[in-house]
Amino acid sequence: MREELSSYNPYKYEGKIGTNALDYTFVTDVGIKYQVYFIHSQGDFPAHPHLDNQTYTFGFGPSVEQSTPLPAAPRAGIDKRVKDTIIDILRKILQGDKDMALLYICSSGGDRQSAARNRLFNAWLREKDPKALFGLQITVHTLKVDDTYMSILVRDDNEYYTDFEEAIAIFREQIKNK
Amino acid sequence: MQNRGIAMNAVSAKHKKKIAKNASPSIFDIMKRKLEDKEAIDKYYRGEITLEEVYARGIKFVQPL
């Protein structure tokens, strides 16, 4: 695990407060500006409403400035530092609050870039044990409906771990009985 | 009478299921809404909609670190 962490090389990122939108931004070596954002969960756990206060939904992607042509048409999937940076942000949040869970939703439909980004993130989560990836005792619960995936990252010592498990079990039952 | 009781139970079960279905959103509703929220935020970052339109969806950004 220590070896895994030592190979990390995240980009320098900063929190940005602008026009009331809060996000984290970083710029890659080839000039792609990324944003990582978090939003409050609302009504995501109907049978366990208190979990909404314990969950952030996050997302990421290139910013609008990226609509300008990119030098050498780089592929984000090749830049390991993008992955390192996003994982680093998520890890710090989970380190800072053990009782906070992170939720990520993605669809393999939609535009090609978003679909590729979503496949990539899911591949990150699947490629290695999340405990090694994050350097934390963490479980990633993934639900799949058609071409949509919803992953919930929960620390194993989260005070509400059992509640999350119950909520996810309800979701799994609904998917099973679809 | 017994058949009626069975039928009532069946109706009751169906009714309860309907109530339960209407009472709280299912995982399908939740995933649909969250995908729509995500698409709205992506559109905002692409400059296609304003931040006000994002907020109008009830989306609240947070900076956890």
Residues A44-100: pLDDT tens digits?
999 999 999 999 999 988 876 554 444 444 454 468 898 899 999 999 999 999 999
Report the amino acid identity of residue A9. N
pLDDT tens-digit series, residues A40-52? 988 999 999 999 9
Q: Please identify every stretch of chain B with a pLDDT value under 70, giving residue numbers as ranges.
A: 1-23
A15 band by pLDDT with thresholds 50, 70 and 90? confident
Spatial distance between the Cα atoms of A52 and A47, rounded to a whole number of angstroms = 11
**How many helices (H) and strands (E) would you count in chain A?**
5, 7
pLDDT digits (tens, 9 = 90+) for A136-145: 999 999 899 9
Residues of A in contact with B54 (CB under 8 A): 21
Question: Which chain B residue's Cα is nearest to A143?
Answer: B27
- Is the Cα torsion angle B20, B23, B24, B27 positive or negative in sign? positive
What is the pTM for the complete model shown? Answer: 0.81
For residue A142, give Cα distances in angstroms to A104, A172, B16.
Answer: 9, 10, 29
ipTM of the complex: 0.82
H or E element in which residue A77 lies:
none
What residue in B sits closest to A169 (Cα-Cα)?
B27
Kindly state whether B14 is in contact with chain A, defined as any CB-CB distance less than 8 angstroms: no
